[in-house]
Homo-oligomer: A and B are copies of this chain.
């Protein structure tokens, strides 16, 4: 029999969202009439703007013509799309050949973890989006530093243990908090002084309001020498099923830039041309419509946050991110998950699923459909609401 890879055994048994799905299925079997609202997984719910879908029919049909058919394309992504990404998000700081278009931020992180398997120790914010931890465990033998981020340290990790690679997500999944210019400058300084590299995940940048928080790490001087940034169309354009993202690997990273270009074309063939075309339209004529959807999710999140605060809950995040992070006050995260499931018929995500540092919290996502907003608020705001009303 073929042996397992010892690295695989380092992962905990079940992936967070699978465990949540299993518990929800179990509840549904016992309560077939239950109407559940999902505040769990951060999945988009608002349909794609018509301007996007309409402009693409012609493109699809052209693929069955001699003139329009397209085979293999540049693995790095088509140039118009890369230029549009620069114009929208990195004017004057990044060039198109520093953009690597992909099938999503999570997939890019998986590839970057192959590139960076030599950097140790690795700082993981705790709680963390699982792929930073699990992907690192699968692809290398580095030691991990779990840097707790909680209300006591203003959700900012400390750097004890001298990490050489740092995964930083801001606006943060799962806590919904966001780094300030001062905090991010501190991070960049640490990396520069210690020859460390930062993977900066900016997939939620579109939820930042005002001018008090950086939307990309490259707003911080010197960041191009020590940071790779990953991003995604998933959350701002509703592409969670369509699959499109990108990474910025600055040429100032020198050898790493060439090595990533090589790795990317070795084990990846580029994002689907269908997804890339959708992305082009989104960044041109579809952008305002996408931002209108972001506004709806923002309104969802604000309403949840306000309702929870008025109920006396202790709440973090939710102002510059689509996630609200709630203290569970004496309950464990999974106990609170069951409480929300059984008493309010709401699916939330247990904070402990994101690491030990998330124990004692649950995450609520603002990505539900706006048409369900008032029903969700009723359940959140009414302390006396229990599922018996619906059973």
B-contacting residues of A (Cβ < 8 Å)?
1-8, 11, 15, 18, 41, 43-50, 52-54, 56-57, 60-61, 63-66, 68-73, 103-104, 106-107, 109-111, 113-119, 130-131, 134-135, 138-139, 195-197, 225-226, 238, 240-243, 253-256, 259, 262-263, 265-275, 278
Evaluate contact between A72 and B47: CB separation under 8 angstroms.
no
Evaluate contact between B2 and A195: CB separation under 8 angstroms.
yes
Evaluate contact between B61 and A57: CB separation under 8 angstroms.
yes
Evaluate contact between B71 and A45: CB separation under 8 angstroms.
yes
A364–B147 CA distance with the chains assembled, in angstroms: 55
Query: Of B48, B119, B265, which contacts A63 at CB under 8 A?
Result: B48
Evaluate contact between B64 and A50: CB separation under 8 angstroms.
yes
A135–B110 CA distance with the chains assembled, in angstroms: 13
Q: Give chain B residues whose Cβ lies under 8 Å from the Cβ of A49.
A: 64
A273–B241 CA distance with the chains assembled, in angstroms: 6
Evaluate contact between A5 and B115: CB separation under 8 angstroms.
yes
CB distance from A293 to the nearest CB of B (A): 11
Nearest to A134 among chain B residues (CB) is B266
Evaluate contact between B43 and A71: CB separation under 8 angstroms.
yes
Q: Give chain B residues whose Cβ lies under 8 Å from the Cβ of A255.
A: 3-4, 8
Evaluate contact between B61 and A53: CB separation under 8 angstroms.
yes
A266–B14 CA distance with the chains assembled, in angstroms: 11
Evaluate contact between A243 and B267: CB separation under 8 angstroms.
no
Evaluate contact between B46 and A69: CB separation under 8 angstroms.
yes
Evaluate contact between B197 and A2: CB separation under 8 angstroms.
yes
Evaluate contact between A243 and B271: CB separation under 8 angstroms.
yes
A5-B266 in contact given A238-B69, A272-B274 (Cβ < 8 Å): no
CB distance from A358 to the nearest CB of B (A): 18
Evaluate contact between B56 and A72: CB separation under 8 angstroms.
no
Q: Give chain B residues whose Cβ lies under 8 Å from the Cβ of A116.
A: 5
Query: Of B53, B106, B118, which contacts A64 at CB under 8 A?
Result: B53
Nearest to A8 among chain B residues (CB) is B259
Nearest to A228 among chain B residues (CB) is B2
CB distance from A120 to the nearest CB of B (A): 11
A21–B236 CA distance with the chains assembled, in angstroms: 36
Evaluate contact between A5 and B41: CB separation under 8 angstroms.
no
Nearest to A69 among chain B residues (CB) is B47
Nearest to A17 among chain B residues (CB) is B265
A263–B138 CA distance with the chains assembled, in angstroms: 8
A256-B135 in contact given A15-B266, A45-B71, A69-B238 (Cβ < 8 Å): no
A3–B61 CA distance with the chains assembled, in angstroms: 47
